[in-house]
Structure 1
């Protein structure tokens, strides 16, 4: 049996780039495809911070519904946007080779870094907390929208800089010259990775996507997402995690921050690639045992009080 694989995607420039990348790979393997853009709730509401909207997976929920309803066969996501627990019946079908995982700072001059005052824009609790941890006297303002919208808002406002994911800007060739790598900032779990999901019962499509899977990237992001899941982060806590593989060893670095950035509970561990079962969990449990449990409770209380 052969069929046209219908690819669901958000309709932003970056999301369409990601979906087209998957489409080209599938067609190169001999499959027929159709691209179906879908507008998500997360794209429609740009005035409210994500965590205040009260649900995780806001950028994936619309596509989940379309897939369950049979309107599309697969969905392509930035993996860092995907909740650690997928809806019933939907499964991971492929993790593509990971791109740059770093955060970058797009700026209007770096003099402010030497000063006591500065205004940074980001819609991410993780980025905000880490920035304030390093620069406690700076102000962080909320920045929402797709990549193009956020770049435009940075130009139009008197902010000093804004934080972006390097991969997103590189993919749509929007990375400007006035940026610096934030090598000290721990990225979001699975940042830089693309995930393709499909229906569990759709064996034809899952088999087609299996050829797109990059095993090393899959191992790394699963460790990071396991760390996130055990900490119960979702989109509601400042959690960074990065697993890298070199010479059959997995190096993990993760941290949980308070919302104001004043408190940081971090972990760094190494494991053999042959012994990584529950590795992310053990890293998270170390954070929880060292005060993370109380900090997560405090974070949830603070967020609920703002909702």
Structure 2
């Protein structure tokens, strides 16, 4: 028996682009679907940095509730926003083929990089803030919240030199400036550039449909990155970066955790055969914890608990 698959999505332009992409892919393999936009708490509370809200999955929780209430059948997310522990009853359905993983700097001219006076850079991400301050310790990093369109507008309206974005997000909705600077020295968020479809565990029809959209290499790489994040117990409240790439039957991984001020970091790089990639993220995280990461994470947790 066929049914129309109800796709839950945030109502930002980027989220709708992602959900529409899934809808089109489902149509190509013979499944009917409809979009159901839902506003998330992460889109509504814009006057506090994410890490001060103290909620993991702030962009996904509203859609999780809608799924568990039977209002939608699947949800489409930017995978980097999804907690590593999914709610009971909800499972990973598919990871679509990953887009570019890099961060970029959108700016108003690059003269500020040449002079010695402190610059102001905007981002809502602890990971981006820590890595920027690690490279440019005299700069000031200010908080930037909202959907992509809102953040671009805030950059225009404020006296900042630049703001950091994920390249994939701006490309997807055709807002990538031609002069944006590729920040290839910043290690991205785990699963950055990937889209995740989640489904209800007991909905066999929908899970079977969604599984046909899965891209194996993207699933493998993002799985390693999310295992690294999960083992470090980071969530969105710690400056953790991770990137896994599948190339020539090998998996190349690099991961890092920074102090909140960017002054300290513990990093790791490994290359293994693809067939040996299972458990790599967890192993690398444990090595990081042994080599000073444990103390870093404890200091970050103490700082976060002071905020709440």
**How would you bin the TM-score normalised by the shorter chain?**
over 0.9
Q: Does 1:113 align with 2:113?
A: yes
Q: Distance in 1 between matches of 2:154 and 2:94?
A: 34
State the shift of 1:32 in Å. 1.1
Alignment of 1:279-298 (within 5 A): 279-298=280-299
Aligned residues: 307
TM-score by length of 1: 0.99
2:137 counterpart residue number: 136
**2:256 is paired with a residue of what secondary structure?**
strand
State the shift of 1:115 in Å. 2.4
Instruction: Name stretches of at least 5 consecutive residues in structure 2 with no aligned partner.
Output: none
What are the superposed Cα offsets for residues 72-94 of structure 1, whole Å, 9 maximum, x if unpaired? 00000000000000000100000
1:32 counterpart residue number: 32
Q: Which runs of 4+ in 1 moved over 2 A?
A: none
**1:268 is paired with a residue of what secondary structure?**
strand
Q: Does 1:268 align with 2:269?
A: yes
State the shift of 1:177 in Å. 1.8
What are the superposed Cα offsets for residues 43-90 of structure 1, whole Å, 9 maximum, x if unpaired? 000001111111100000000000000000000000000000000010
Alignment of 1:1-307 (within 5 A): 1-116=1-116, 117-307=118-308
Q: Distance in 1 between matches of 2:302 and 2:115?
A: 33
Q: Distance in 2 between matches of 1:96 and 1:141?
A: 32
Conserved 8 A contact 1:108-1:178: no
Q: Distance in 1 between matches of 2:194 and 2:115?
A: 35
Q: Distance in 2 between matches of 1:181 and 1:2?
A: 45
State the shift of 1:276 in Å. 1.2
**2:176 is paired with a residue of what secondary structure?**
coil
TM-score by length of 2: 0.99
State the shift of 1:304 in Å. 1.5
